[in-house]
Amino acid sequence: MIIRRLFASVIVWGTAMAAVAGGLDDLKSLYKAREFAGKDGGKLLVRLMPPKDYDAKQKYPLVLVLHGAGGRGDDNWGQVRDQSLPFQQLASDEMRAKHPCFVVAPQCPGGKQWVNWPWGKGSYSQDKVAVSPELKRTVELLDALAKEFRIDADRVVVTGLSMGGYGCWDIILREPKRFAAAVPICGAGDPSRAATVQHVAVWAFHGDKDGVVPVRGSREMVAALKAAGAEPKYGEFPGVGHFAWIPAYKTPGLWDWVFGQRRTPAS
């Protein structure tokens, strides 16, 4: 079922930034800077927020957040600063008390992409698009964190927006046994492989007036999942352009739904 909400037909940068402004200095102290070395010798700059009062005797869920194109760089901060809303939500006192978890945010270098495919083309074939070095290192990063900390392997989730929306779809399709849930926003994937992730809980979002990443990318993935027997959730915002992540992350009950998911075996 498509969830529709009424929003203004145009969202300008000022409105979008006003919705996420404030608290960036606090975020910098909560999301610790790290550097990860991949097996290929390449590095990945990372921000990591551990659970408050981390207890090594307990297991915790992990949320992987893949940023959009504006967060690329080598400052190890743009990935949080550029689209800070989910990071602020997950770092709030209420959320940290209710849903203690690890939040990890790798930074894609300037000029690189999570998925090497033009954003405006929508759906693609993984047979023709190899996994990017950056996404491959991200998978290796998840493995390394699981060795370093007490991560609940049945509660690893991923979300991403725009370029990160592509990355969100791509990583679950390439790693179908790894994730409990995915929240891809204004992205696209490979519909031909949807059956491999029919067991993964998906809540996708897109604006129907998106002029950067065509809405058909999300529609085609959701339709393919349904055809494979899955029951994905889909929120499509009428009149909204590319900044669909603002209303998406503000959807009531989203994070409760995310943390309520558990990994199920792939068929």
Q: Is the pLDDT of residue 26 over 80?
A: yes
pLDDT digits (tens, 9 = 90+) for 151-182: 999 999 999 999 999 999 999 999 999 999 99
Please check whether residue 264 lies inside any domain of the structure: no
pLDDT digits (tens, 9 = 90+) for 238-251: 999 999 999 999 99
Q: What is the mean pLDDT of residues 121-147?
A: 98
Q: Is the pLDDT of residue 4 over 80?
A: no
Please check whether residue 91 lies inside any domain of the structure: yes
Please check whether residue 192 lies inside any domain of the structure: yes
Please check whether residue 213 lies inside any domain of the structure: yes
Please check whether residue 100 lies inside any domain of the structure: yes
Number of separate domains in the chain: 1
Cβ neighbours for 213, distance < 8 A, ≥ 6 positions apart: 119, 120, 122, 162, 165, 166, 186, 187, 188, 206, 242
CATH at 160:
3.40.50.1820
Exposure string (b/e) for 168-190, b if CB count within 10 Å is 16 or more? bbbbbbbbbebbbbbbbbbbbbb
pLDDT digits (tens, 9 = 90+) for 66-117: 999 999 999 999 999 999 999 999 999 999 999 999 999 999 999 999 999 9
Q: What is the mean pLDDT of residues 10-22?
A: 35
Q: Which domain holds residue 55?
A: 2-259
Q: Is the pLDDT of residue 6 over 50?
A: no
What is the band of 1 on the pLDDT scale with cuts at 50, 70, 90? very low
Please check whether residue 135 lies inside any domain of the structure: yes
Q: Compute the radius of gyration of the chain from its Cα atoms.
A: 17
| The pLDDT of residue 90 | 98
What is the band of 266 on the pLDDT scale with cuts at 50, 70, 90? low
Please check whether residue 265 lies inside any domain of the structure: no
What is the band of 267 on the pLDDT scale with cuts at 50, 70, 90? low
